[in-house]
Chains A and B, each alone.
Chain A
Amino acid sequence: MASNGKVKLSSGAQKLETARLVFIYVVCVILTVLCLAPFWIMLVNSTRSSASIQEHAISFIPSKYLMDNWSKVLKQSFNPFTGFKNSIIVSTCSTALAVYFSSLTAYAISVYEWKLKNAFFSFIVGVMMIPSQVTMIGFYQMAYKFGWNNQLFALFLPAIASPMMVFFMRQYLQGALSHEIIQSARIDGAGEFYTFNKIVLPIMKPAIATQAIFSFVSSWNRLFEPMVLISADEKKTLPMMVSLLKGDTYKQEFGCIYLGLFLTVLPLIIVYLLLSRYIVAGVALGSVKG
């Protein structure tokens, strides 16, 4: 970095520099407010009574109905603990499977020279583009035919084949992996599988972390698919339970709904913050040139 060898700035340029920084901070602060406001609103509304939410949907001052809402939530068919458990199982498994096998597949495509390699890669890029809505009909029918309904694995096993993630991982590997490392591992007598697990995976850690966040978030938030496949109460995920809260035909307990929504997003916030240092550090990927 050239940060130490900075050229001295003239006072006019310095003013410009300050103005630029002020502008940057103003924009960033506005964006921060826009990004965080919904979380705050959710949190505040989960402490408010339904009646006051009806009057003024948005408030920035918390109220005192949190426990009230909590007991109402528990009284309905909402079991946050079961939901949490199932959501964790589905999201963790699908994230782990997606990340591991996508890395493996990407590794196969970018390191080895094999006949069908390019065709396979084109295939992956191709299937990445298939709209997911209607393939669902076939998937549901198949799931019922084989008795995969009410099985959590039907929700996470398909993650093994995640074309979009393979595509990303491949782009990353192309830039980050040097063949010398693999070669030297081979010389040391390491098996290919060992090399992948012990040497390549650690190199991919930053990419894995970002992709893990994306994958965890999207699988945690999935709603329609589990709703069609899971009918047993003990297998329901958190978003499904929030949907049950909303689904009362007669009345809307807004306070409870917001509490449910907040409970759903809370674990995500925690997981995200844990992995966020990779986002801060940034994932180097792609075209290292030179």
Chain B
Amino acid sequence: MGKKKTLNYAKYGYIFSIPFVVAYLIFSFYPIINTFLIAFSDLVGPARKDYNFLTGDIFENFKKVLDNPIFKKAFMNTLKLWICNFIPQMVIALLLTAWFTDTRSKVKGQGFFKVVFYMPNIITAATVAILFSTLFGDPVGPMNDLLKTLGFIDKPVKFLTKANVAQNIVIYIQTWMWFGYTMITLISGVIGIDPAIFEAAEMDGSNRFQTFIYITIPCIRTIMLFTLVTSLIGGLNMFDIPKLFIANSGPNYATYTTSVFIQSKAFEGRNLRNEAAAASLIMFVIIVICSAALFYIMRDKDEAEARKLRKQALKQAKLASKGV
């Protein structure tokens, strides 16, 4: 795929980016700058619009957040909730992808399954939260009723006061809501692979498993990277379900995430907006570092090599042209 240099068309690159840039500047730039400034200020309380920058220790808000046991807990929760839902989600999605893209035997009705598996994603988080807190209600609730009928318990279980149960429910909900999305994205990636590659593999006598591990997965690496990065960003910003499911924080902060921390700092209680802003910048830095690490680990070595060569060639060409 040799890209042709189209220098005379370069201006269109700028022109076509204008709407994005303008919209971004209008709607997001000011709020982000605002957040950045507030993180270094004394802005506390819902009513104030004006604020003074901290004069003593300018990183005071950041230190407060990093020292805050609740923030630490929220961070560990966020990480745990994300990893524990991402792994099963990826496993299920990969398995389904392997089944649904298998060229040797087609799973009948897979169109139906694909459509259905994305369905949980279209229900509002608020609805999901209501459904699940009803499901695990106590002393009466469908789950308690079921376990009682089956004879597993004789006294209602207080599911929602148990930290690990609450966490597992959130993990389940997240997996359930997103495995279809991940599956669709992965399938898109597999469809993009040249069928000839699979044919060749089959000719060589590799079995399904080998084909999937040695051909499919390496070929959809960029898509997996995309999934991983978007899921990381989404996961570390996890908000809706933890917020709406069991009154903000769950039993003893079991489902309290950093985004809930930020939101509750900014809009509830004392409206400690400076600390909320600092916490969101901290999360931003963490996400950038993690994403960069992912990009680095999963980088395409050949591609990187090729790019380097191209850059060098370009430089030499430039030098050459200057020389003339």
Contact = CB atoms under 8 A, between A and B. Distances in A.
**A, B: real partners:** yes
| List of 5 A-B pairs having minimum Cβ-Cβ separation, nearest first | A138-B31, A112-B13, A138-B34, A160-B23, A114-B13
Interface of A: 1-3, 6, 17, 21, 24-25, 27-28, 31-32, 34-36, 38-39, 41-42, 55-58, 101-102, 104-105, 107-109, 111-117, 120, 125-139, 141-142, 157-158, 160-161, 164, 166-168, 171, 175-176, 178-179, 183, 192, 196, 206, 210, 213-214, 217, 221, 223, 239, 242-243, 257, 261, 264-265, 268-269, 272-273, 276, 279-280, 282-290
Given A196-B16, A239-B124, A290-B194, A285 B223 contact: yes
B322 interface: no
B263 to A, nearest CB: 5
B288 interface: yes
Contacts of B176: 34-35
A265 B124 contact: yes
B189 A287 contact: yes
Give the interface size class of chain B: 35 or more
A17 B4 CA distance: 48
Given A139-B27, A179-B4, A265 B123 contact: yes
A241 B175 CA distance: 28
B280 A133 contact: yes
Given A158-B23, A168-B226, A284-B188, A135 B13 contact: no
A260 to B, nearest CB: 10
A120 B198 CA distance: 37
A290 B197 contact: yes
Given A117-B13, A161-B28, A287-B222, A137 B202 contact: no
Interface of B: 1, 3-7, 9-17, 19-24, 26-28, 30-35, 38, 49, 92, 95-96, 99, 103-107, 109, 111-128, 130-131, 134-135, 137, 140-142, 145, 176, 180-181, 184, 187-199, 202, 219-223, 226, 230, 233, 236-237, 239, 258-259, 262-263, 266-267, 273, 276-277, 279-280, 283-284, 287-288, 291
Contacts, number: 296
A27 B122 CA distance: 22
Given A137-B38, A282-B191, 9 more contacts: A2-B103, A6-B104, A137-B266, A139-B28, A141-B49, A264-B127, A265-B122, A280-B114, A285-B192
Contact of A135 (B1, B31, B184, B189): B31
A289 B35 contact: no
A139 B197 CA distance: 50
A287 B31 CA distance: 36
Nearest to B226: A171
A134 B28 contact: no
A140 B191 CA distance: 43
10 contacts: A58-B134, A102-B20, A131-B236, A133-B259, A133-B263, A158-B27, A192-B12, A221-B125, A261-B124, A287-B219
